[in-house]
Amino acid sequence: MAKKGRFSEFGDAIRNFWNSPGIPSFIEILEKGLDKELFFDPDRADSQIPKEDLPIDFRLRQSGFARKFYEKLFPVSHVFRITHRYGREFLDNFMPLASENYIGRGSYKFVYTLPWNQVVKIGKSKLPSDPIFGSLYKEVQNNLERYLKTEEIGLMHHLQKSVWGESKRDEIRFKFARLGLERLHYWKLKSLIPDLVLPTRFFMGLRFRRSPFGVPVVTLTPCDNQNLLPGKHLKEFIRLNEKVRQNPIQDALFPKWKLNFDTHRFGIINKSKLKKIALDFHRVIEVTRYLASEEKLIFDIHSENIIITIPDFELKIFDYHVFDEHLYEPSKENPSPEVDHINLIKEFVSSFELG
């Protein structure tokens, strides 16, 4: 109860924060320190992190025939950050992209490495009916000035004036509201476990593809930018050697395995480091419980969202989405949906055999 009370008090402090006079805005707090965290010198030839050290899930890299054909026909070229300056749209922060630098995709983004040991994540097109656009999206939609920078709101209005039809203007507003939503999801976790959440800059991007006819294909889409860390996805440390018994149909179509941590797969890991990882995982569990009980939100954490860095063996979360509780279907075993996520982490930590 003490832990729950502590998180509740913290949540109350955050909620009261908005109305406190003289306090920096949400955006100012979120952006503080990012220039330093994400700084790179383009004139300095930094050594690239070897591909074998990247936290890549190669199954996420695979695409179907239609997608591969499209990528070949319209190869990605680059992305700019777009904002509003001098009374018009303004492009900066050129980021070169190439198909060989594509390292993965999630439900909502494509991920590319950049030449300076960073990644850029480019938002996929999504319909407003997607479950990500729940109560938090409504909060952002009704308070855009809180979650978008002044120049971003200026850009939104500028772009809306340049198109015909209400549906086109709504589509532009939808994309900017989604940008604000990404920031809010990030803030939900960054405010609770700041040292475990990878610093991230969210921005509106303009992605370019090369067409066979020489006319570029340009897409306005929310993006984000992070430093690239050497490490492995959580699932890459997992040894699947014990099958969980289900019914015959599930065993054939959806096999489940008991998770075990392979402590020798990437070298011998010091026990003190395992204890630190276990403690950090328990902090993630507490945050997951807090969001579920106090805010009715499910932290959508999976093994693809977490990496363990090498050689430091530190836990880092680099993908952040929270959903409304009612949008999750509880399983038979766990009537409360966050328990499935918590049990996954607990099972993993118990395989450390730390007592």
User: Whose CA is closest to 225, among 325, 346, 79?
Assistant: 79
Please count the other Cβ atoms lying within 10 Å of the Cβ belonging to residue 284. 21
Across all residues in the chain, what is the average pLDDT? Answer: 84
The single residue listed with the structure tokens 């055999």 is: 353
Confidence at residue 242, expressed as pLDDT on a 0 to 100 scale: 63
Region for residue 138 given its phi and psi (left: phi exceeds 0; alpha: psi -120 to 50; beta: otherwise): alpha
**Lowest-confidence region among 91-100, 222-231, 298-307:** 298-307
Distance, in Å, from the CA atom of 186 to the CA atom of 327, rounded to the nearest integer, reads 19
Confidence at residue 164, expressed as pLDDT on a 0 to 100 scale: 92
Res. 66 pLDDT band, cuts 50 70 90: confident
Structure tokens belonging to residue 233: 């996805």
DSSP string for residues in 161-197: HTS-SHHHHHHHHHHHHHHHHHHHHHHHHHTTSTTTB
Per-residue pLDDT tens digits for 143-174: 999 999 999 999 999 999 999 999 999 999 99
As a whole-number percent, the residues of the chain with pLDDT over 90 amount to 47
Confidence at residue 258, expressed as pLDDT on a 0 to 100 scale: 65
Mean pLDDT of the 14-22 span: 57
Q: CA 30 → CA 27, 86, 94, 187, 330, distances in Å?
A: 5, 25, 22, 7, 33
Contacts of residue 233, defined as CB under 8 A and 6 or more positions apart, other chains included, come to 55, 56, 57, 303, 304, 306, 307
Higher pLDDT, 95 or 346: 95
> Which amino acid is residue 262, in one-letter code?
D
Rg (CA), the chain: 21
Calculate the CA 47 to chain-centre distance. 25
Res. 235 pLDDT band, cuts 50 70 90: confident
Per-residue pLDDT tens digits for 80-134: 999 999 999 999 999 999 988 888 888 899 999 998 899 999 999 999 999 999 9
Higher pLDDT, 111 or 48: 111
Length of the chain: 355
The ranges assigned to domains in the chain are: 85-101+130-227, 228-354
Distance, in Å, from the CA atom of 24 to the CA atom of 56, rounded to the nearest integer, reads 37
| Contact predicate 254/156, CB 8 Å | no
Confidence at residue 343, expressed as pLDDT on a 0 to 100 scale: 80
Question: Cα angle at 283 between 282 and 284, to 5 degrees?
Answer: 90
User: Whose CA is closest to 187, among 236, 248, 123, 140?
Assistant: 140
Question: Does 7 have pLDDT greater than 90?
Answer: no
| Contact predicate 77/216, CB 8 Å | yes
Q: Kindly state the DSSP code that residue 126 receives in the 8-state scheme.
A: -
Confidence at residue 260, expressed as pLDDT on a 0 to 100 scale: 67
Structure tokens belonging to residue 306: 């977490």
As a whole number of Å, the end-to-end CA separation of the chain is: 23
Distance, in Å, from the CA atom of 15 to the CA atom of 180, rounded to the nearest integer, reads 17
> Which amino acid is residue 300, in one-letter code?
D
Confidence at residue 43, expressed as pLDDT on a 0 to 100 scale: 72
| Contact predicate 222/202, CB 8 Å | yes
